[in-house]
Amino acid sequence: MIESTFSARDAQPNLVIDVSKDPSPRVVSSIWVMLAVSTVFLFLRVYCKKIRCRGLWVDDYLLIASWILLLVSNILITELMRLGLGRTTIFVAHMHTLTAANGSINKAALALSKTSFAATLLRVSSGRRSALVWILVVSMNVLLAAGAVTAWKPACDRPADTYEAILPGKCWSVRDSVIMAMVSNGYSALVDFVLALLSWHVVWNLDMKRHEKVGVAVAMSLGIIAGLVGVIKVVKIATLAEHNDIPYRLSLLFIWGQAEPNVTIVASSIPVLRVLFQEMCSSSPSRSTYLKSDARSTFPASIGMATLEEGRQIEEASRKRVLQAMGPSEASDPRARELEVEIGYGAMDEITQGTHHLTPRASGDPGKRR
């Protein structure tokens, strides 16, 4: 996240740098609390999909990898705070190595967390929407990868700094590193906003009741919060040199740097947990989104055959789309596979890859499944 620090001339002429503030307590407590929160959400997501349903898919593994990198990043930041980062204007060699390593790992964690959400969205996208998601994800990963690599470039205007490991080639100015950080983080935030809006468009085309569409779309678009965090981070970087306590404020950027991938993990887990919450709170099968339209249907007898036929067509179309979107399944029996996409859970399964597998609601008496 932080590749270098500022000197007095990088801020304002004749500015005396204040190094009296200790950012360690605030930074260390904040990053570990955020990781604890995202850990709870990720654990519940894995529990829903591994223990209570078919298993994990590629988006889950990407989130888990992102969490592991965040854990490593937290350890590096904690060590940097112990070494005195934020209370000095000079980087010693080991401090630069840890800072550059953390910058690379943080960007990798951010890229993986957002790629995970994009992978989820790709399962239910097609045509131009799918192409747009691919373009956004690939371009975002390229920019973040460039930022991760250039974190190891030495600063030409920091002659007092020493290095253990640097990127071969020419050095660059601190200002160039700041611009690179702003561009990559700004574009990452833009991707959050676009994917959130795109999820509304995707969900709105599903065969669901309007209130269910709104609920699912809101859950899917919580990535906007991660985008807002990214915007705040860019603003903090841009205004860093306007104050004399630059080292202190530079250290506080670690908080915003860790906040974005943590928020992304939480936002990506909420759609899955939404279904678990509905299953736990539902006291009646009538809460199901759809009513079956076969011979065991609970449709009133007064409903005409045309309506029943339309219901069958909607159900069949939804079932086929769900089976395609849900990914791999542990169910080998075709009937068991169909039960996994029972109407009422199927619409959400299109997005979350499901949260139930032959549970009492899905495998009991046929009359209890509606």
For residues 330 and 341, give the distance between their C-alpha atoms in angstroms, rounded to a whole number: 13
Question: What is the set of domains in the chain, with CATH numbers?
Answer: 22-279 (1.20.1070), 285-369 (no CATH)
- pLDDT score at 172: 78
For residues 121 and 59, give the distance between their C-alpha atoms in angstroms, rounded to a whole number: 10
- pLDDT score at 21: 78
Q: How many degrees, rounded to 5, is the angle at CA 160 between CA 158 and CA 166?
A: 65
- pLDDT score at 317: 53
Q: 106-123 burial by CB neighbour count: b if 16+ within 10 A, else e?
A: bbbbbbbbbbbbbbbbbb
Is the Cβ–Cβ distance between 274 and 349 less than 8 Å? no
Q: What's the whole-model pTM score?
A: 0.70
Residue 155, beta-bridge partner list: 172
Is the Cβ–Cβ distance between 305 and 312 less than 8 Å? no
Q: 3-state SS string over the chain?
A: CCCCCCCHHHHCCCCCCCCCCCCHHHHHHHHHHHHHHHHHHHHHHHHHHHHCCCCCCHHHHHHHHHHHHHHHHHHHHHHHHHHCCCCCCCCCHHHHHHHHHHHHHHHHHHHHHHHHHHHHHHCCCCHHHHHHHHHHHHHHHHHHHHHHHHCCCCECCCCCCCCCCCCCCCCECHHHHHHHHHHHHHHHHHHHHHHHHHHHHHHHCCCCCHHHHHHHHHHHCCHHHHHHHHHHHHHHHHCHHHCCCHHHHHHHHHHHHHHHHHHHHHHHHHHHHHHHHHHHHCCCHHHCCCCCCCCCCCCCCCCCHHHHHHHHHHHHHHHHHHHHHCCCCCCCCHHHHHHCCCCCCHHHHHHHCCCCCCCHHHHCCHHHHC
- pLDDT score at 356: 41
- pLDDT score at 326: 42
Name residues of the chain where pLDDT drops below 50: 4-15, 283-306, 318-370
Distances (CA, A) of 191 to 27, 196, 253: 27, 8, 21
- pLDDT score at 292: 42
Query: Tokens in use for 32?
Result: 């570990």
